[in-house]
Amino acid sequence: MTTLIAHGGHWLLNIAYFLPVVGFMAWLGVTQWKERRKRTERQQSPDCERSDPPS
Amino acid sequence: MTLPLAHGIAQREDLPIPLALFVFGAFVVLVVSFVALAVLWREPRLEQDRWRPLPDGLGRVLGSRPVEVLCGTIGVALLVLVVAAGFEGQQTAASNFAPTFVYVVFWVGLVAASVLLGDVYRAFNPWRAIGRAVAFSSRLVARGDLPPPLEYPRRLGMWPAAAGLLAFTVLEIVNSTPDDPSTVAVATLVYSVAMFVGMALYGVDAWIDRGEGFSVYFNLFSRLSVFETRDTPGTGGVLGVRLPLSGLTSLRPAPGLVAVVAVMIGTVSFDGFSEQQAWVDVGGKLGDLFGSLGLSSETAFEASSAVGLAVAVGLVLGLYRLGTAGMKILDDRNRAGELAVSFAHSLVPIALAYVGAHYLTLLAFQGQAIFYLASDPLGSGSDLFGTAEVAISYFLGATLIALMQVGLVVSGHVAGLVLSHDRALTVYSDRPQLAVPSQLWMLAVMVVFTIVALLLLLAGNG
């Protein structure tokens, strides 16, 4: 177990390279999910229905 | 925490600039490429078929049936030589033709040949050549057409190819004696039997195109080439040229395609990771765990490597599926699985980057051994071609190798971005506002793959 911990510094620092990408993916997921929700709400709103051409 | 961090991050001492700068530089290249694609590449350009034959009948000659038969015969002769050398030659890797031929010339050299020259393996494929020869002979004896083979199950797709490739990498990476010549010969025979059964059941071309691991593997790489042979009824084929990368856009989606590509990247990743101190630590502990279950130390080591290999393939698959699941957030029409298959071709240049960068030195240096092994394939002291005394030349310096590896990794990932962007323009042709935002996910995936590749190649072992 000593060896595992002794070399942990290498691992942690290597993993640090990925943190910005993980943060970017999280931000991307949240913003795109919000955007999709807004789009869905717009499509379902009464304004949208009124803008449809009369049949 | 002082003790572990005191080690700091290690890197190879022959790098001209710090590793962190390589990573940052690669990140910048990918982001700039992404922005340039979003601004300048507004229409799909790689989906069009712009193949044209080589001029003056050259394409017809190179793709003709006699050339195909000649190449197939050479392929069969090499297959026989590998098996014969494996069983009859000296049982050391350094003096036997079989291990160097299979692991270096075949497994790595054919990747380079496929990218440069197109699908050359299809012509040299010994199992295809034998299958076609048997079918031809059987038709002559029967004086008519043979009963049709079973229809290749659509759901089977490329899964047999993924399994075959994984089996080969288990032999290469997990097995504790992969370069034992008799092991190579036995594995070749076992694989041959499996291929003959597959061809007998489903027909030569149906099985070779989707079920034979090496055919699928080299064909995927050959789609990066500008050269492509197209079949013409009755006369064999015609060799022609096409736009770079466009061969991948014509790849037909099939079940198992994503698994094949994940195996391609994951196995090389683990091969690199297994040389790092991190795996020495984790793999050692895992081996101890298997050893405590009663396995011999050799079997325990193999079991821990098998687990590592499976985890590496799983991580590649998981990361890619995370990217396509991210695309699904905006896309309310396509299923995540459909998106994964649609964009799988964009991982092929990345697989090339991994394979090329990782095995560059193996091919450049150990590949030269085939010159003296060809003259003395059994290690019996013969000198068939007068090359038995050729020595290996280490003509590439360490810094140049590192730069070539980084160049391969970065350009492979940029090519992946290009393919992915081009496909997004097609998939979202009716909703163009989604094309660029959806590709932010692929950008993130490419950045992660790039960082992993650079860390595996350039980080130190200590």
- Measure B444 CA to nearest chain A CA, in Å: 6
| Three-state secondary structure readout of B155-193 | HHCCHHHHHHHHHHHHHHHHCCCCCCHHHHHHHHHHHHH
pLDDT band at B253 (very low <50, low <70, confident <90, very high): confident
Cα gap B68→B441, rounded to integer Å: 43
3-state secondary structure of B64: strand
ipTM computed for the complex:
0.71
Which chain A residues contact residue B278 at CB under 8 A? 7, 10-11, 14
Q: Is the CB of A19 inside 8 Å of chain B's CB atoms?
A: no
pLDDT band at B15 (very low <50, low <70, confident <90, very high): low
Chain B residue with CA closest to A24: the answer is B444
The count of other CB atoms within 10 Å of the CB of residue B211 is 25
User: What's the sign of the alpha-carbon dihedral B377, B380, B384, B385?
Assistant: positive
pLDDT band at B105 (very low <50, low <70, confident <90, very high): very high
pTM of the model as a whole = 0.89
Number of Cβ pairs closer than 8 Å across A and B? 72
| Mean pLDDT calculated for residue range B322-345 | 92
- Measure A55 CA to nearest chain B CA, in Å: 25
Cα gap B462→B277, rounded to integer Å: 6
Contact (CB<8Å) A10/B9: yes
| Mean pLDDT calculated for residue range B196-224 | 97
Please, what's the b/e burial string for B324-346 (b: 16 or more CB within 10 A of its CB; e: otherwise)?
Answer: bbbbbbbbeebeeeebbbbbbbb
Total residues belonging to chain B: 462
Mean pLDDT of chain B: 91
Q: Is the CB of A4 inside 8 Å of chain B's CB atoms?
A: yes
Specify the pLDDT at position B16: 66
Which chain A residues contact residue B455 at CB under 8 A? 14, 17
The per-residue pLDDT for range B271-283, each reduced to its tens digit, is 999 988 889 889 9
**DSSP conformational letter for B366:** G
| Three-state secondary structure readout of B268-306 | HHHHHHCCCHHHHHHHHHHHHHHHHCCCCHHHHHHHHHH
- Cβ neighbors of B115 (< 8 A, separation 6 or more) are B221, B222, B224, B225, B352
Q: Which residue in the set B10, B20, B23 is minimally distant from A10, CB to CB?
A: B10
| Mean pLDDT calculated for residue range B67-74 | 96
Cα gap B98→B103, rounded to integer Å: 8
- Measure B421 CA to nearest chain A CA, in Å: 17
Specify the pLDDT at position B23: 87
| Mean pLDDT calculated for residue range B248-258 | 93
Specify the pLDDT at position B3: 32
Of B122, B160, B326, nearest in space to B254 by CA:
B160
For B121, B362, B368, B379, the CA distances from B395, given in Å and listed in that order, are 28, 13, 11, 26
pLDDT > 60? residue B462: no
Which chain B residues contact residue A17 at CB under 8 A? 20, 23, 451, 455
| Mean pLDDT calculated for residue range B176-186 | 95
Please count the CA atoms within 13 angstroms of the CA of B337 that sit on its side-chain side: 4
Total residues belonging to chain A: 55
- Measure B438 CA to nearest chain A CA, in Å: 9
| Mean pLDDT calculated for residue range B201-217 | 96
| Mean pLDDT calculated for residue range B433-454 | 93
3-state secondary structure of B232: strand
* Alpha-helix residue ranges (DSSP H) falling in B250-385: 257-273, 277-292, 297-330, 336-342, 348-365, 369-375
Specify the pLDDT at position B6: 35
Of B301, B295, B136, B121, nearest in space to B218 by CA:
B121
Specify the pLDDT at position B461: 46
3-state secondary structure of B65: helix
The count of other CB atoms within 10 Å of the CB of residue B42 is 12
Per-residue pLDDT for chain A (55 aa), expressed as one digit of tens each? 444 445 555 666 777 888 888 888 898 899 888 888 888 888 777 655 444 444 3
Output the DSSP codes for B105-173: IIIIIHHHHHHHHSSHHHHH-HHHHHHHHHHHHHHHHHTSPPPPPPPPPGGGTTHHHHHHHHHHHIIII
pLDDT band at B20 (very low <50, low <70, confident <90, very high): confident
Tokens encoding A23: 């943060």
| Mean pLDDT calculated for residue range B196-217 | 96
State phi, psi for B11 to the nearest 5 degrees: -140, 165
Which is higher by pLDDT, B1 or A39?
A39
The per-residue pLDDT for range B298-321, each reduced to its tens digit, is 999 999 999 999 999 999 999 999
- Cβ neighbors of B429 (< 8 A, separation 6 or more) are B44
Which chain B residues contact residue A33 at CB under 8 A? 329
The H-or-E segment that residue B59 falls in is helix B58-62
Specify the pLDDT at position B184: 97
Output the DSSP codes for A4-54: HHHTHHHHHHHHHTTHHHHHHHHHHHHHHHHHHHHHHHHHHSHHHHHTSPP
First to last CA, chain A: 75
Which chain B residues contact residue A12 at CB under 8 A? 4-5
For B54, B273, B366, the CA distances from B241, given in Å and listed in that order, are 7, 38, 32
Contact (CB<8Å) B329/A10: no
| Mean pLDDT calculated for residue range B48-54 | 90
Contact (CB<8Å) B277/A6: no
pLDDT band at B48 (very low <50, low <70, confident <90, very high): confident
